[in-house]
Amino acid sequence: MKPSTKRTDRKHSIWVWTALAVMVICPLFIKNNYYLDGFILIFMWGAFAGAWNILSGYAGMTSLGHNAFFGIGAYTSTLLFLHFGLTPWLGMFAGGFLAMTVGLLVGVVCFRLRSHYFALATLAFGEVCSILALSWRSLTGGAEGLALPIEPSLYNFAFDSKLPYVYIGLALCAGVTGVCYYIENSKLGYYLTAFKENEAAARALGVNTGRVRLTAMALSSFLSAISGTFYAQYVVYIDPSSVIRLPLSVQVALFAIVGGVGTVFGPIIGAAIFIPITIALRGWLGTSVTGLYMIIYGVILIIIMLYMPDGIYGKIKNRLTAAGPANS
Amino acid sequence: MLQVRDISKSFGGNVVLSDVSFDINSGDVVGLIGPNGAGKTTLFNILSGVYRSKTGRIKFNGQSLDRLKPEQICKRGLCRTFQITKPFGNISVTQNVMVGALIRAGSLKKAEQKALEILEFVGLYDKRDTLGRSLTIADRKRLEIARGLATQPRLLLLDEVMAGLNPQELSEVKRLIEDIRHSGITLFIIEHIMGVMMSLSDRIIVLDYGKMLCEGSPDSISCDPDVIKAYLGEEYLAATS
């Protein structure tokens, strides 16, 4: 990590703005829905991975239960819309606050656990939520899921073309990145890092490690739920296997870890690299040999993890700091 | 400033501290010595809130510390360093110290200023951009002191900050401790190096097997028969007397 008060590299901000500009302009010229779908998925997963990263990366409390927060977001906004006609724009925040409340409860109970045990406890929590979604048929529709009526309007958070989704997704993803940037360059970020590095030392220096972790949990669960609502509005159909099952947590952890855990841009880079790979491999090989694309996907993953143990962004950052002039 | 009354601690059936009582006055440098396993670090752990005492009470500036957590005790102005140094390995030395400074500083900028001041003071300024994990033992000990100072304590507990240093480093740290004292911070120090303790401390407390053996000026401690017995054994005492 580069030593300076601004822990995020200022020097590379030009790249960030360029990337943002490219992402704003590019979709305007893409007419193919197949590619636009790719952009939307990257933004959605980038936002979700960024949210996951706040708790699991900065605080180092690896969660395998974020599927529950994503699902809470998707179900809450959808149910509020179906039953009360509440616009998903507000339902999204209702879901966010519900997820935050649940997240804080999970935190109060599970934060006494460390590393693997915390991961296992959150995994169990996620599974309970997913079973609940499957079994509580009167509320969630069980395995059949819930479909949103397709009536495009701004109020309904539903659109004819993919372009609005691209930009809403981009805004969401940029928002999450902004939160992460703020955290990294604030007291909270310092305290979370101190906790992650050495809890006893952090507490001896006056850091209330319980409270800073709960703050991280609150932000993380809230933003995960927002990503869940976005998914629901985009796909207009949700069921347990698409919004609340365990594989979501595995997927989101994978994007963040491969991209660079505990960094501002790592999770998004992870999503931006792996989603196109998944889509492309599935497109080329999905029909010829069943499952072959999964094998190739796995091999690519293993290679990246072997050669970039700090994640893709971690590797880039190390290169840049090693090559660039010293900051002092 | 600090009143400790009848502190006891046992792990399982193993009594580590029993009925320890003493006072520390503002501006003093008090040494805590005793053979290995005497309970010195355990006493620090109780004072800093890591462990709770079974009995007794601790008052700091008139306030009870008995039910407080480590972070709350630090905020009240009592900070400790660790014998086994615990640097935050993946952030710079400056950032390490900033974590301590942030509990009093309003902003990151102010915390950074404070951190750099302290690094200058303890002689780590040149290493400010080094990662915590790449420091040598001597520098890690300094970092412990620097982080402690950054929290702006009124009482600082130093746990063996001189162990494992060479004579050159030793005299530097000794000077640093004198500087800290002159800045008005009260010090409570665990150390094994007698020569240094004798010259630094106003008062020394001797622990042995969890009990207060005696307490007094360095001179009176060094000729106390109980202390000689604890350190050098009964035979030595018999042979010399």
pLDDT of residue A313: 85
- Taking only the tens place, the pLDDT of each residue in B66-112 is 889 999 999 999 999 999 999 999 999 999 999 999 999 989 999 99
Task: Count the neighbouring beta carbons within 10 Å of the beta carbon of residue A90.
Answer: 13
Return all residues near A298 (Cβ < 8 A) that are at least 6 apart: none
**Residue A3 pLDDT level (bands cut at 50, 70, 90):** very low
DSSP element (H, E) containing A157? none
Residues of chain B with C-beta less than 8 angstroms from the C-beta of A187: 102, 108
Helix (H, G, I), strand (E, B) or coil at A153: strand
Q: What is the CA radius of gyration of chain A?
A: 20
Q: Which residue in A152, A133, A125 sits closest to A76, CA to CA?
A: A133
Residue A104 scores a pLDDT above 70: yes
Question: Among B94, B95, B145, which would you mutate to test the A interface (most chain A Cβ atoms within 10 Å of its Cβ)?
Answer: B95
pLDDT of residue B101: 95
Say if the Cβ atoms of B48 and A204 lie within 8 Å. Answer: yes
pLDDT of residue A321: 64
- Taking only the tens place, the pLDDT of each residue in B172-186 is 999 999 999 999 999
Say if the Cβ atoms of A204 and B91 lie within 8 Å. Answer: no
Residues of chain B with C-beta less than 8 angstroms from the C-beta of A207: 71, 99, 103
Say if the Cβ atoms of B89 and A7 lie within 8 Å. Answer: no
pLDDT of residue A1: 41
**Residue B240 pLDDT level (bands cut at 50, 70, 90):** low
Residues of chain B with C-beta less than 8 angstroms from the C-beta of A194: 88, 99
Q: What is the ipTM of this complex?
A: 0.90
Total-model pTM = 0.89
Residue B57 CA neighbour count, 13 Å, CB half = 5
- Taking only the tens place, the pLDDT of each residue in A194-241 is 999 999 999 999 999 999 999 999 999 999 999 999 999 999 999 999
Q: Rounded CA gap, B236 and B224, in Å?
A: 13
B71 touches chain A (CB under 8 A): yes
Residue B150 scores a pLDDT above 90: yes
More confident residue, A15 or A234: A234
Helix (H, G, I), strand (E, B) or coil at B104: coil
CA closest to B75 among chain A residues: A206
Break chain B down into helix, strand, coil percent, rounded to 5: 40, 25, 35
DSSP element (H, E) containing B116? helix B108-122
Report how far apart, in Å, the C-alpha atoms of A100 and of each of A55, A165, A220, B97, B121 are.
12, 25, 8, 32, 44
CA B191 to chain A, closest CA, distance in angstroms equals 20
Q: Where are the domains positioned within chain A?
A: 24-245
Q: Which DSSP string corresponds to B181-204?
A: HHTT-EEEEE-S-HHHHHHH-SEE
- Calculate the CA dihedral of residues A15, A20, A26, A28 and round it to 10 degrees: -160
Say if the Cβ atoms of B108 and A202 lie within 8 Å. Answer: no
- The class (CATH top level) of B2-83+154-235 is alpha beta
User: Taking a C-beta distance cutoff of 8 angstroms, is the pair B199, B31 a contact?
Assistant: no
